[in-house]
Structure 1
Amino acid sequence: MKDEQAIENEIQAKGLNAPRLTPAQIDAVILAEQYHVFAGTTLTVCCLTLKNGFTVTGESAAASPENFDQDIGRKIARENARQKIWPLEGYLLRESLWSRRDPD
């Protein structure tokens, strides 16, 4: 997320202001989040529900059970799920821009 904010700051500093997605827009479409750790495993799954009801999932798992930490697993799984939102929202933005183009 830190790298994401650094990129956002660079985009703004360079005055690149054509329609685009921002980290804040990605976060704004998340309505709810749920987590599940499968019994006897280190597998953590995060399910993010978006405003339109669509869901995306992300996973994390520790290779060594001794390294498993539920909070860290949730953070990694959530970030993996959140990353899947970018292409979905990017497609919607591109579709919107394409439909508004001048036919000539």
Structure 2
Amino acid sequence: MSSDETKLEAALQAKGLNAPRLTPDLIDACIVDAQYYRFPGTTLTVCALTLRNGFTVTGESASASVENFDEVIGREIARKNAREKIWAFEGYLLRERLAAKADAERGQNDAVRVA
């Protein structure tokens, strides 16, 4: 979890914004494996994060000059970029679950009104 995520999470908690939502911990819990690859002769590093459902998300990093390339930093940036993509996928899944729940509740309410 980044320092920005920690600050945002604290602000949300302080305001009592606890409706169903994504959290940094939830995002991290989705990740079951990380693999890295640096393309030979380049500064391009790719991180492949495997999620608990088997889906793979990738992130990339590349230094504009080889003199500024650092493999550890390249991996960190590639992982951060891959992790950011998980937010969108998990957000979509959460929205689907909330919509399905609302549809089911409306269906139950409609059945009660008809009867």
TM-score of the alignment, normalized to the shorter chain, above 0.5: yes
If the length of structure 2 is used for normalisation, what is the TM-score?
A: 0.88
If the length of structure 1 is used for normalisation, what is the TM-score?
A: 0.98
Residue matched to 1:41 = 42
Residue matched to 2:75 = 74
CA RMSD of aligned residues (A): 0.7
Richer in helix (by share): 2
Moved segments of 4+, more than 4 Å: none
Return the alpha-carbon distance in structure 1 between the equivalents of residues 18 and 53 of structure 2: 26
Gaps of 5+ in 1: none
- Write out per-residue CA displacement over residues 27-65 of structure 1, whole angstroms, 9 at most, x where no aligned residue: 001000000000000000000000000000000000010
Aligned pairs for 1:53-72 within 5 A: 53-72=54-73
Identity of aligned residues (%): 66
Return the alpha-carbon distance in structure 1 between the equivalents of residues 55 and 4 of structure 2: 27
Give 3-state SS (helix, strand or coil) of 2:76's partner: helix
Give 3-state SS (helix, strand or coil) of 2:25's partner: helix
What is the aligned residue count?
Answer: 104
The structure with the largest alpha-carbon Rg is 2
Residues 1:31 and 2:32 are matched in the alignment? yes
Residue matched to 2:90 = 89
